[in-house]
Amino acid sequence: MNIMTEQSLENAVGDKMNAKSNEVIKMRGDKVGVFYGDKQALFDVNLDVRLNQVTALIGPSGCGKSTFLRCLNRMNDTIDSARVTGKITLDEEDIYDKNIDVVELRARVGMVFQKPNPFPKSIYENVAYGPRIHGLAKRKADMDQIVESSLKKAAIWNEVKDRLQEPGTGLSGGQQQRLCIARAIAVSPEVILMDEPCSALDPIATARVEELIDELRQNYTIVIVTHSMQQAARVSQRTAMFHLGYLVEEGATDKMFTNPDDKRTQDYITGRFG
Partner 1 sequence: MTDIPMDTMVRAAAHPRRDIGLKARYAAERRFRIYGGLAISVGLAFLAIMLITIVSKGYTAFWQTTVTLPINFDAKMIDPSNKRATDPSVLIKANYPKLAESALIAKLGIDPSNKPMVMKLKGFLSEGARVQLRDIVAADPSVIGTTRDVNILAAANLDSAFKGQIDLSVEEARRKVSDQQIAWMNKLKADGVMAEHFNTGLFSYGASSRPETSGMGVAIIGSFYMMVIVLLLALPIGVAASIYLEEFAKKNRLTDLIEVNINNLAAVPSIVFGLLGLAVFINFLGMPRSAAFVGGLVLTLMTLPTIIIATRAALAAVPPSIRSAALGLGASKMQMVFHHILPLAAPGILTGTIIGLARALGETAPLLLIGMVAFVADYPTTPFDPATALPVQIYMWANEAERAFVERMSGAIIILLVFLMAMNITAIVLRRRFERRW
| 225 makes contact with partner 1 (CB under 8 A) | no
| 205 makes contact with partner 1 (CB under 8 A) | no
* Listed residue (205, 187, 3) closest to 107, CA to CA: 187
Separation of first and last alpha carbons in the chain: 38
Q: Which of 133, 142, 166, 215 binds partner 1 (CB under 8 A)?
A: 133
| 197 makes contact with partner 1 (CB under 8 A) | no
Stretch that binds partner 1, among 35-43, 101-109, 237-245, 253-261 (CB under 8 A): 101-109
For residue 83, the number of C-alpha atoms closer than 13 Å in the C-beta half-sphere is 8
Report the alpha-carbon distance of residue 112 to residue 135 in Å, rounded. Answer: 21
Q: Which residue number, 180 or 241, has a Cβ lying nearer to partner 1?
A: 180
Size, binding site for partner 1 by CB under 8 A: 27
Stretch 47-76 residues interacting with partner 1 (CB under 8 A):
73, 75
For residue 124, the number of C-alpha atoms closer than 13 Å in the C-beta half-sphere is 11
**DSSP letter string, 197-252:** TTTTS-HHHHHHHHHHHHHHTTTSEEEEE-S-HHHHHHH-SEEEEEETTEEEEEEE
| 103 makes contact with partner 1 (CB under 8 A) | yes
Q: Which of 57, 58, 107, 181 binds partner 1 (CB under 8 A)?
A: 107
Stretch that binds partner 1, among 84-92, 126-134, 207-215, 250-258 (CB under 8 A): 126-134
Residue 89's SS3 state is strand
Q: Which residue number, 118 or 251, has a Cβ lying nearer to partner 1?
A: 118
| 130 makes contact with partner 1 (CB under 8 A) | yes
Residue 20's SS3 state is coil
Helix or strand holding residue 28 (H, E): strand 25-36
- x/- string (CB under 8 A) for partner 1, residues 154-193? ---------------x----------x--xx--x------
Q: Which of 6, 38, 80, 162 binds partner 1 (CB under 8 A)?
A: 80
Residue 36's SS3 state is strand
Stretch that binds partner 1, among 19-27, 28-36, 127-135, 214-222 (CB under 8 A): 127-135
**DSSP letter string, 41-84:** EEEEEEEEEETT-EEEEE-STTSSHHHHHHHHTTGGGGSTTEEE
Q: Which residue number, 70 or 238, has a Cβ lying nearer to partner 1?
A: 70
Measuring CA to CA, how many Å separate 194 from each of 95, 138, 166, 191, 197?
19, 29, 25, 10, 6
Q: Which residue number, 110 or 251, has a Cβ lying nearer to partner 1?
A: 110
Q: Closest distance between partner 1 and the C-beta of residue 78, in Å?
A: 6
| 106 makes contact with partner 1 (CB under 8 A) | yes
| 104 makes contact with partner 1 (CB under 8 A) | yes
The sign of the dihedral angle between the CA atoms of 15, 19, 20, 24 is positive
Residues at the contact surface with partner 1, assessed by CB under 8 A: 73, 75, 78, 80, 103-107, 110-113, 115, 117-120, 129-130, 133-134, 169, 180, 183-184, 187
